[in-house]
């Protein structure tokens, strides 16, 4: 799985879905072995990691819905034995 940075601009208070698709070397959707970790770094520097609470509706596909309740840049990272992927979301106080 290749890490592909994703950037989005969203409005304060919105819920944003952060998703990842884990694949093998051939690009086929593959379920990781062991735990899948979801890390969030909020604009104020609060850093939280969890291995539970995310949704896994299909092979290798995971998502977490996050309430974006602070203005600034949010950073996210999914990681598992198959690799890691990162995303960044800029939250503004009004509609862009």
Q: Which domains are assigned to the chain?
A: 6-92 (2.60.40.10)
Q: How far apart are CA 4 and CA 25, in angstroms?
A: 15
**Is-contact 52 87, C-beta < 8 A?**
no
* Token pair of 34 as six digits: 């062991």
For the chain, residues with pLDDT lower than 70 are 1-8, 94-96
State residue 2's pLDDT score. 43
State residue 94's pLDDT score. 64
State residue 6's pLDDT score. 55
């Amino acid at each position: 799985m290749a890490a592909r940075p994703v950037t989005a601009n969203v409005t304060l208070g919105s819920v944003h879905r952060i998703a990842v698709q884990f694949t093998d070397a051939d690009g086929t959707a593959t379920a990781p072995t062991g735990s899948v970790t979801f890390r969030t770094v909020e604009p104020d520097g609060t850093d939280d990691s969890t291995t539970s609470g995310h949704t896994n509706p299909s092979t290798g596909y995971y998502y977490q819905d996050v309430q974006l309740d602070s203005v600034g840049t949010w950073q996210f990272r999914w990681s598992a034995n198959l690799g890691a992927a990162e995303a960044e979301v800029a939250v503004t106080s009004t509609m862009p």
